[in-house]
Structure formats: structure tokens, C-alpha cells
Structure 1
Amino acid sequence: MGPTLEDIEQAQAALVGEMVETPVVSLPVSKLPARLADADVTVKLELFQHTNSFKARGAYLGICGLDASARQAGVVAASGGNHALAVAWSAKTASVDALIAMPQATDSMRVEACRALGARVELCADMPAAFALMEGEAANGRFLMHPFEGAHMVLGAATIGAEYVAQASDVDVFVVPVGGGGLISGMSAAIKILKPKATVIGVEPIGADSMKRSFEAGSPQRLERIDTIADSLGSPLAMPLTYGIARANVDEIVHITDDDMRDAMRDYYTALRIVAEPACSASLAAVCGPLKDRLAGRRVGIIACGSNIGLARYREFLGD
């Protein structure tokens, strides 16, 4: 289930010259001697992508694939940050009007960045209200750029998986953050095609674990409440497309806590001088936390999926 190798290769071809081939680097164990597992850990720095997150790939594919009438009508998205920025940037490159619904609690840096890219931003009470606005605008004719439940978003993420395998062919365990499921569904599909024996492990905050609950229930589940500092991973539900692809290709999903992410945010700064938002730190949090002992002796690939965070918010999370 999911994109084929031909689909992924076509998406890669469409992104040549448009996206950054983000680097893969070794995580310096010497700088985190007590934290890292006895494993060879590499990290793909997708936060160096356009708009500082992996979301740019799928958003660009989606907007480039619009027909003339959809371009004329414009697009609408709901997001607390990374997807909003990706849609705003992609729309600007294609001269398409973009409306972005964002929760009022969104980091002001992200809101202003979307406006600077030419998008119209509507602030809503919370994420459910932002989704409601998005769905209403879509019903009135705008093309809905869903933050994860779309073939273009899965394909964008699949290009990351294919790129990672090519850059680090010896990696045998990939640890991937899970929000709505767009990233892990696409990456896992590509990884399992190109390296079938590799293990793919998803990582979810314990307060936003719709995909883990869906795996356990055998069908997409909705959460009544989200409770995590990782707003980029705070999807209130899993959905059929991305759930189905992830279920077919992901070996397991593990929980992390907000404190695990805070520790990993500090680790990224110590090891690579990266200012990581909580979602960006999720893979590393799992490698240093619940997976630490199990990954000893393995070749592990993690992803810094993106980071759009103001310095004030970063310090607030870390209590500095």
C-alpha cells in the first residue's frame, strides 16, 4: 500500500532544482556520552529545507499539481506552523493565493513569516476551529491543502525516505516522528521498497498519540484532548490514507514525554548547535530515551524534521 517506486522517482524528478537535498551527518557521540545509545546514529537535517521543514516538499508537489481552475480559486490550509509556512512559500512560488488558518497560540514568528510570504492569515481560537475554517473555505471553492492526508504530502515525505537510504545505505533502523502521519507514511513506504529489511519506528508524544492508538485499535482513531508542547505533532486524529500506509510499513510506535523532548532539544544544541523545536527533537528523544538500550549496536537514522521557533518560545520550553 502507498506510493510505488515509480511514483517516488517521478516526485524526486519534479523536485530536482526546487528542493534542498538535505545533508545527513553523524551525531557526535563524544558530545553526548551519557545520553546516546551505544549505536551509530546519523541525523538527516531536514530543518535545512525551504521554510525550515520537510513540509515544503509535499506542499510544493501539491500546488504544482493544481489545474487552472484550482489555481484561480486559491488554496487554504490549517496549521500551527511548519505546514502553514510550506503552503505559504509554495503558493508564492506559483503565484497562487493562500489563506492559512492558525490557532491564536501559534508562535508569533510563524504567523509573521506566513504573512511576509504573502499569505492571508486568519487566527482561530484553537486547532479544531482552524480546521473548521479550512473545511468551510474548501467547501466554498478553495483547494484544501491538508497538512498530512494527501497523496502529494505522502510523496513529498517519500522523497525524504528515498534520499536518506541513498545517503546512508548502512542504516538499518529509522526512527521517525509522527504527527498526523504524513511524514512517517511516506518515509516508511520508500524505505520498505528500497530496503525491505530495515526497521521503521514511529515516535509520538504521549499526549498526542492518535497513530499509536490507531495501530492498537486497528483503525484510525480520534483523540478527545491534545496535551504536548510539540504543537507540530499535535494532530487530534489519524486518517485513512496515511494510517493505512503507515500500518503497512511501520514496525512499531513508541511514546515519548515532553520532558524527553526538552532534554533532546538541549542535546541538539550541545551536539550540533541546532535550535530545535520540540517536534524536531522527537527522534533523538526516542533514541536517548525508550529505545536507548534496544538500539545498542545498531546503525540508526533519525530525522530533524524541521524547526520554526522563536527564541522566546524556545527559552520558555526549556525554562531558561
Structure 2
Amino acid sequence: MSIRIATINDVREAEDVIRNHVSPVPLIRSYALEKKLGLPSSRRVWLKDYGWTPVGSFKLLGALNWMSNNLERIGQRSVVAHSSGNFASGISFAGMRFEKRVVVIMPDSAARVKFDLTRSFGAEIRTYDISQDHLTGERDRLTREIAEEEGAIQASPYDDPYVIAGNGVGGLEIVNELRAVGRDVSQFFCQVSGGGLMAGHALAIADGFPQAKIIGVEPEGADDFCQSLKAGHRIRVERPTSICDGLLSYDVGEHNWPILQQHVPQAVSIPDAATQQAMKWLYKVHGLRTEPSGAITTAALLSGNVRLDGEGDIVIVLSGRNLDEESFQEWITIS
């Protein structure tokens, strides 16, 4: 069965939807990273910080576009989705905006702040044991049961063309803002989990800055995309592990893979210790309490594992800031 792959035109159409609900998030120049990396004065580093959204991550972009484009199908029924936490609050926010009931399946170990945000927008939460999910498949079973028994419409957190296109609006924001001031981009760093964030941004960045090298970033213990690139087909990691709870998908989505294959030629895997160092650096230098999944792209730069060739600017995505204070303090208390 053929699937519909999102395009740059889908991203442009999603922009009108997103602007009805949220403003663009900041693109912040990091003078400190430019100095740390030893870049010449002609090159700049930009942080696209999705911590500024109403849900503290990028996830509401795809959720809003998905909800807007599925209203007729949803009708009076509920929406159900599984999420480690950030899509949970994103789809909950979308449900609030479009007055739809939302049920989300979350791991019982998710950060309290993610539970609180999700409930604050009105969603109902049901939990599962993520440590055993690779054996039990409980996450997918619960989601499927709610869809079947309650007649709910299932929303994918990443493997859907409307979700991809909505996420890509953030990439359009980057392109429009930098082109407006005459800047060019040499490297673009973005997290890869299920691939919804990267696929959407890759469409926008490749269209606006076709010469830019788009680089995926994953945790070492959840590097299915790195393995997939090498193999030339999607690889599934049966038990992904990392402090980056938002990057623990088993594989990239079916809708995402063709876009990633076309536009993302390189990916790097980062050890959790390097991500912790990046979290500490972002807090010390920029005052940002960034969750591990958000800080991992900064870790890719600070680790020195990627050559920063070219003369253009560098853009890195900070995908979210939702983490509990105790966990944050524990992770940044390193030498």
C-alpha cells in the first residue's frame, strides 16, 4: 500500500494553521558557542529554542496541524495517542484549542512536569511500564484498545504527513528569519527519534538553504537512524536506552524515512555523558534548563565529532525544556 509523503507545499499550508494558534519561537544567536567553536567572525551559531512554546517543546506544531486536518474524521469522537510526554502535552493543547477529548498513553516514569502540562490542557492520561514494553508491547496495545473499544481516532506522534508538515513550520521560521537578514546556512543539527521533527525541518531547510548539510543527532543507546543510514533501510532497536526520554522510539516512521533518506546524509550518536555536559553548559552560559533530548544537538557541536566546514551559519534545534528539577540537578552535577 502506498503512503502519502509530506512535501514542502504541505509545510507551507500548515503555516497558516499554526499561526492561528501560536507565534514563532525565538531563533537566538549564541555568541558563546561561536567563541567555543573557534568560528571566524563571519559565521554565526543560532539556537532554535522550542522551550518557548506553550507546551515547552516543538510537539504542538505537528499536533495542531494534525488536529486541524482531521476534524471531519474525528467528529464527536475522542483522540488517542501514545507519547513519552511532549507529544502528550502537544496533542492535549490541540484538543483544548479544537474542543476535542484527548486520551494519551504515557510511561509511568515520565517527568512530572510532562504529566502536569498534559493534564493542564485537559487530556486524560493512562500509563504503562516502559521498562517492560519491549517485551509486552503494552504501549501499542493500550492505544489500540482505546481506539477500538472507544472508537477513538489515533494520532501518531511522528509517523504522519500532517504531523511532519506541522513540525516543518518551525523550519520555515528559521529559513524566513535568516534569509530576511541575508544569512546563509552551512550545517543544520536536529534530533532524530521517530523522525517527525527532523523530516519536517529537513523539508524546509533543504528548500530554503539547498547547500546546507543536514545532520541528525541521536543518543548512543537509541541510534536506530544512524544504523538505518548505513544499512539503507529502516533498522529497529528493540530496547533503546538513554536519559533522552524523548528520543527513544524503536525506529523512524514509515512516512519519515523517505524524507530523511533524501535530505539527511549524516547522523551522529552522542553518549549520555556528553549530553549531560551540554545541559550543564547551556545552563551555565545561557541560563537554559534544557531537557536531555533538547540539549543533545549542542552536545554534538561541543563534542567536536562533526566537521564544521563551509562559510555559512550553523543552526541547532533545542527541541524542548520539560524536565523535573531533581533530575536536572542530578544530570548537571558532573565533573
Separation in structure 2 between the aligned mates of residue 277 and residue 106 of structure 1, nearest angstrom: 12
Alpha carbons of 1:116 and 1:295: their partners in 2 closer, same or farther (altered >3 Å)? Answer: same
Distance 1:296 1:281, change over 3 A: farther
Matching residue's letter, 1:80: S
Instruction: Give the superposition deviation at 1:293.
Output: 4.7
SS in 1 for 2:113: helix
* 2:252 matched residue in structure 1: 238
Q: For 1:245-303, what per-residue CA distance to the aligned partner results, in whole angstroms no more than 9, with x for missing partners?
A: 11111121111110111011111112221100001101111111144554586520111
Aligned pair partner of 2:145 in 136, 144, 160: 136
Consecutive unaligned residues in structure 2, runs of 5 or more: none
Are 2:117 and 1:116 aligned? no
Deviation string 1:1-47 (CA, Å, 9 cap, x unpaired) is 94333322211122223122111111122x785x4353621111121
2:85 corresponds, among 81, 86, 92, to 81
RMSD (CA atoms): 2.0
| Match 1:145 to one of 155, 159, 178 | 155
Cα distance, 1:123 vs structure 2: 1.2
Alignment CA distance shift 1:318-1:64 (3 Å) = same
> SS in structure 2 opposite 1:312?
helix
8 Å contact kept, 2:74–2:153: yes
What pairs with 1:168-317 in structure 2 (closer than 5 Å)?
Answer: 168-169=178-179, 170-291=184-305, 293-295=307-309, 298-317=312-331
**Preserved contact between residue 11 and residue 200 of structure 2 (Cα < 8 Å):** no
Alignment correspondent of 2:8: 5
Say which SS state the counterpart of residue 80 (structure 1) adopts.
coil
CA distance in structure 2 between the aligned counterparts of 1:37 and 1:215, rounded to whole angstroms: 30
Which of 43, 59, 63 pairs up with 1:59? 63
Please list every run of 5 or more consecutive structure 1 residues that lacks an aligned counterpart in the other structure: none
TM-score w.r.t. the length of structure 2 is 0.89
Fraction of identical pairs, as percent: 25
Note closer, same or farther for the CA distance 1:177–1:248 as it changes in structure 2 (3 Å cut).
Answer: same
Please report the TM-score for the alignment, with normalisation by the length of structure 1: 0.93
Contact preservation (8 Å) 1:32, 1:267: no
* 1:23 and 2:32 correspond: no
Of 141, 147, 161, the residue aligned with 2:171 is 161
Structure-2 separation of matches of 1:77 and 1:208: 21
Moved over 4 A (4+): 295-298
User: Contact (CA 8 Å) 2:108, 2:128: kept in 1 or not?
Assistant: yes
Q: Quick one: which amino acid aligns to residue 18 of structure 1?
A: H
Q: What count of residue pairs does the alignment treat as equivalent?
A: 318
